[in-house]
Structure 1
Amino acid sequence: MKNFIIPVLALTLLVACKKNPEKPVPNVIDSMAQAKEKNIETAAQKKKTDVAAVKTANDEILQALKSKDYKTFTSFIHPEKGISFSMYGFVDPKEDMHFSKADFEKYLPTKTLYTWGAQDGSGDPYKATIKDYLAKWVFSTDFTASQYSFNQFLAGGNSLNNLKKIYPDQDFTENYIKGSEKNGGMDWKTIRFVFEEFQGKQYLVAVVNDQWTI
């Protein structure tokens, strides 16, 4: 009886195979790889779009500072997080000046003096109105003629640069003015803008100046 069952089972399988001819089976691994590549391409394309948007914002902000168009500058301040200012490369969230967008707009036209930090060398507090700080410190030289970089530092001095530690998830730009030969290149200056996207637009969350320090 057992010997009879085995041939019948084999015959049943053979008939089933004839009724259901073998079809090509999709290569699951290849499909997953293609999907992954597509996601990478999409992400890369989105990053390119973001990079272009950041560059555009960077240039518009520089032009606004050059022409003292502070209304345009203010329009780039993050609506929810506001903006912080660092006099030098070391960012100190506890000590650096910070404004909400509303407060910046409110006090921009006033003669209110703020202490923005301590001047390198003397250690004296640097006091100025918002407009004077923007004109005399932030845009102390024509940065529209600077060398641009995205998420990369071009300048480096003897002070600690902790921007990436404080803003690990944000994009930043650097606008670098090379130092002169007569001063051994030590009179370089740079301005960094830290951006964060909000509702499809790139906004400023920080402005960081840097230069050679004693």
Structure 2
Amino acid sequence: MKNLIIPIFILSLLTACKKNPEKPVPNVIDSMAQAKEKNLEAEAEKKKTDIVAIKKTNDDILLALKNKDYKAFASFIHPEKGISFSMYGFVDPGEGTHFSKADFEKNLPTKTLFTWGAMDGSGDPYKATINEYLTKWVFSKDFTASQYSLNKFLREGNSLNNLQKIYPGKDFTENYIKGTEKNGDMDWKTLRFVFEEFEGKQYLIAVVNDQWTI
């Protein structure tokens, strides 16, 4: 009698499967594939959100610089990593100027001179207050009317551009103003911002100017 139980059970199971073909046995591989697809969709959606957030932050920073509202500019500085400045496209961590957010805000209203780098051609150190540097060097042209790009260089000078090597994997924007015909397009300028997300918000970790160098 016991020997008949197993064949009867198997027969019943096969009959049930034939009657319910629309209910297949769960497939682990399919489940994993669906989970991966959902993760990819989530990542793609996040990337779209980041693209919009970075563009808005880029434009807000440019507006703050145009209005010389440097307190507003300071609000975009990364709370933990601070901000670095580079006078030209070649970023030299040992030569550029770095501030924590607190130090930037503390020195903003002062007349303290900082060395921001060396002038192209002469090699003379460029010394200025924070206000002077932002006004005369960083925003030397109205970049609110510039051409915008994300993670793409629109123009590079004759010096090495190592931004992606110094900030690997970071999102960056480029705000490019082409040169004039009068000067053979040699007076072009570009302003780049490097971003890093912190607690769901995009913050500025570097400001890199670039132009034609000798």
1:175 and 2:175 aligned: yes
Q: How many residues align?
A: 206
Deviations 1:127-155 (CA, angstroms, capped at 9, x unpaired): 11110000000000000000111111111
Counterpart amino acid of residue 80 in structure 2: E
Larger Rg: 1
Alignment pair present for 1:42 and 2:42: yes
Query: 1:43-96: per-residue Cα shift (whole Å, max 9, x none)?
Result: 000111111111111000000000000110011111111111000001111111
Distance 1:179 1:16 in 2: 84
Q: 1:17 corresponds to which residue?
A: 10
Q: RMSD in angstroms over aligned alpha carbons?
A: 1.6
SS of 2:57 mapped into structure 1: helix
Aligned to 1:194: 194
Cross-structure match for 2:153 = 153
SS in 2 for 1:112: coil
The 2-side partners of 1:183 and 1:33 are apart by 58
SS in 1 for 2:207: strand
**Cα offset for 1:169?**
2.7
Q: Which residue of 1 aligns with 2:79?
A: 79
Gaps of at least 5 residues in structure 2 are: 18-22
Q: Which residue of 2 aligns with 1:3?
A: none
Stretches of structure 1 that go unaligned for 5 or more consecutive residues are 1-7
Give SS of 1:56's match: helix
Which position in structure 1 is the counterpart of 2:31?
Answer: 31
After superposing on structure 2, the runs of 4+ consecutive aligned residues of structure 1 that deviate more than 4 Å are none
Instruction: Give the equivalent residue in structure 2 for 1:131.
Output: 131
Aligned to 2:20: none
Q: Report the Cα distance in structure 2 between the residues aligned to 1:139 and 1:180, rounded to whole angstroms.
A: 18
Q: How does 1:47-66 map to 2 (within 5 A)?
A: 47-66=47-66
